[in-house]
């Protein structure tokens, strides 16, 4: 999902379908889309300073949520980095524990402050 202004890209959101918590590691070059998915992984979002504070991030995430729900996926997930967990928490995401050693290692590839977070689609009709 991309928002384009007259001269530049103003915002974007990149999401990947994920199955069984098979998140890519940081800088993964070998990730492949699964044959089926149970969640949509929020890989990256960027908002131009021109749009910050105007709800662009919430709008992009609501579009991702609607897309995920239309595919029958159960949640949006992400790995919060660079002390961004509070930001994501304001958008309806909650911390989720790593459920396997493999997932702990993947989180570690993102840095010491990396936190797995999710937004369950069945519980909320839209991101507030």
Domain that holds residue 53: 2-29+36-120
Is 128 within the bounds of a domain?
no
CATH of the domain at 82: 3.40.630.30
Residues linked to residue 119 through DSSP beta bridges, in sequence order: 76
Edge to edge, the sheet with strand 94-95 lists 2-4, 9-18, 39-47, 75-80, 115-120, 94-95
Model pLDDT, residue 83: 92
Number of domains forming the structure of the chain: 1
Tell me the C-alpha distance between 12 and 109, whole Å. Answer: 23
Is 14 within the bounds of a domain?
yes
Is 126 within the bounds of a domain?
no
Is 127 within the bounds of a domain?
no
Residues 81-124: tens digit of each pLDDT: 999 999 999 999 999 999 899 899 989 989 999 999 999 987 54
């Amino acid at each position: 999902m991309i928002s384009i202004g007259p001269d530049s890209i103003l915002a974007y959101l990149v999401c990947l379908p994920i199955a069984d918590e098979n998140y890519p590691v940081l800088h993964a070059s070998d990730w492949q889309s699964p044959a089926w998915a149970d969640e949509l992984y929020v890989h990256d979002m960027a908002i131009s300073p021109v749009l910050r504070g105007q709800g662009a991030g919430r709008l992009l995430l609501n579009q991702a949520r609607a897309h995920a729900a239309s595919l029958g996926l159960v949640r949006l997930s992400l790995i919060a980095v660079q002390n961004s967990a509070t930001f994501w928490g304001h958008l309806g995401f909650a911390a989720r524990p790593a459920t396997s050693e493999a997932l702990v290692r993947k989180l570690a590839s993102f840095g010491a402050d990396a936190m797995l977070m999710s937004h369950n689609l069945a519980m909320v009709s839209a991101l507030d």
